[in-house]
Amino acid sequence: MQVPPNCDLTLGMVCEDKSEPGRTRWRMRADERFTNPAGVLQGGFIAAFCDSAMGAATVTWARGRKVRSANVEMKVSFLAPVRPGSDLWCTAEVVAGGSRAAFVEARVTDGQRLVATASSTYLLAARPDPDPASAD
């Protein structure tokens, strides 16, 4: 498993803090390559930003278990346009969950205003340790 994944690298996402279980804080610059015809960041990139932050929050929340985390549904509310060159921060937090599912919320700001919120359900599954025999 590659960490960080290529999707995060492509979008310039950086995890700044994952020290508190179930909570992560990420940063991303709104790249001009990802703007829509109106000249603002296309919403799908903000959704991807939220998904990465929330997915990482579920993995840190798993209390030492090695898990795979899969997003099964997500709702995003876009509250303000994001201009290219803006720095964005996303804070994601697990609000409830159990052994198989976690419910997560995220908030995206540009440092001055709230630009998006998201909520999602993630399914958790045990991640097996890699087989040392297959590493040859």
Q: CB of 113 within 8 A of CB of 42?
A: no
- What the block records as the tokens of 27 is 């940063």
Examine residue 1 and state whether it is found in any structural domain, yes or no.
no
C-alpha span between 99 and 124 (Å, rounded): 7
Q: What averages of pLDDT result for each successive group of 10 residues across the chain (136 residues)?
A: 71 92 96 95 96 94 88 97 97 95 97 97 88 55
Backbone torsions φ then ψ of 119, nearest 5 degrees: -140, 150
* Residue 125 C-alpha from the chain's centroid: 18
* Structural domain contains residue 78: yes
Which tokens hold the place of 126? 């045990």
In total, how many domains does the chain have? Answer: 1
User: What DSSP element (H or E) covers 58?
Assistant: helix 43-61
31 part of a folded domain: yes
* Full residue range of the structural domain in which residue 124 is found: 6-135
**pLDDT value of residue 84:** 96
> So what's the pLDDT on residue 132?
58
Which CATH number characterizes residue 39's domain?
3.10.129.10
User: Which pLDDT score, from 0 to 100, does residue 136 have?
Assistant: 47
